[in-house]
Structure formats: structure tokens, C-alpha cells
Amino acid sequence: MAILTRDDIRAGLSRLGQLAGERGITIELVVVGGAAMALAYEARNVTRDVDALIVSPRNAESVRLLAESVAMEREWPADWLNDAAKGFLIGVSAGPVIFSAPGIVARRPATAQLLAMKLSAWRDDVDIGDARILLRDLDSLSGRDAAWEQVRQYVLPGSELKAHYAFMDLWEAVYGDD
């Protein structure tokens, strides 16, 4: 299992964009998970892979093949760029661009959606640390209940109770009892 640094992710995505450009295509991704935290928030410097939804081109297989070429060049696992997290997405919200280079643009989802994913998973200290950063970035001025409503719409069905309890604990840890 590879460990990818923030610089590795940037270099890999740049190379992926270069390969796409040579073929006359532009890749558009929505990056989630640890890679999104590394690129958007510089919250961590390492992750195991880049979880991303391929938005464009419509033929996602072409992007996977280019990503495998990057993997071979860099001696990374073939699935360094994968869409395994798409099962944790309820739709895809439009967030800001977190990486751009010739031939590639990567966005992250809205903060509320990233936070919902972390709350639904709530696996370890990494999720908790990421969730703290995301909660602070979320528009929380209207209070706990309004913040939860922003997040709730993106919580994976079947994870609502777990995510809500995690959110309440997180809110208390970050903002105190409200």
C-alpha cells in the first residue's frame, strides 16, 4: 500500500492532466476523502489514495487507463486514483476548485457534503480530526441545528443516527454545549 503525500498527489494529477491533454481531453474530477483534505485544507500531508468521482470525460475508463499509466511511471498501485468513495456520496455538490493544471481540474464537494461523509464513516482519529476542520469551515453562524440541516441532506441513508450523534459530539467539542 502506497502512502501519497500532498506533493505526490499534485504531481500525479499534473501528470494525469498532461496525458489527457496529449489526447485532446480535459479531465474533471470531484475529489473527496483524505486527498480532498490534503489539497483543500492542507489538513494532512499523506493519504493512501485519491478518491475521486470522474465527471468528465463521460468515458471514465479512459481516465482509469491514464491513471494506470501514471501509476506505472511512479511505481504506485494501479488504483491510486479510484472512485471507491462514490458509494458514500448522495449526489455531488459543487465545491471550489482545489487543483488545476493543463488537462485537469479537480474540485471538492461542498463543505457540508465532505463533513457528512466523515460523520457517516466516523472510523478513527483521522476522520474526527478532518471533521473538526470541516465543521469550523462550515457556515455555523446560525447555530448547531442550522449547521446540522446543512449536513443532514448529504448523510448516507442508514447512517443518519450515527452521523447525528457524531455531529452532536463534534459540535460540543468545537463550540461547547449549544
Per-residue pLDDT of the chain in tens (178 residues, 90 and over written 9): 578 999 999 999 999 999 999 999 999 999 999 999 999 998 888 889 999 999 999 989 999 999 999 999 999 999 999 998 887 788 888 799 999 999 999 999 999 999 999 999 888 788 899 999 999 999 777 899 999 999 999 999 999 999 999 999 999 999 987 6
The predicted model scores a pTM of 0.91
- Cell 470525460 sits on residue: 57
Rounded distance, CA 147 to CA 39, Å? 24
Sign of CA dihedral 127, 51, 4, 42: negative
Do the strands 27-32 and 50-56 form a parallel or antiparallel pair, or are they unpaired?
antiparallel
Report yes or no: 107 and 29 within 8 Å, Cβ to Cβ: yes
Rounded distance, CA 129 to CA 42, Å? 12
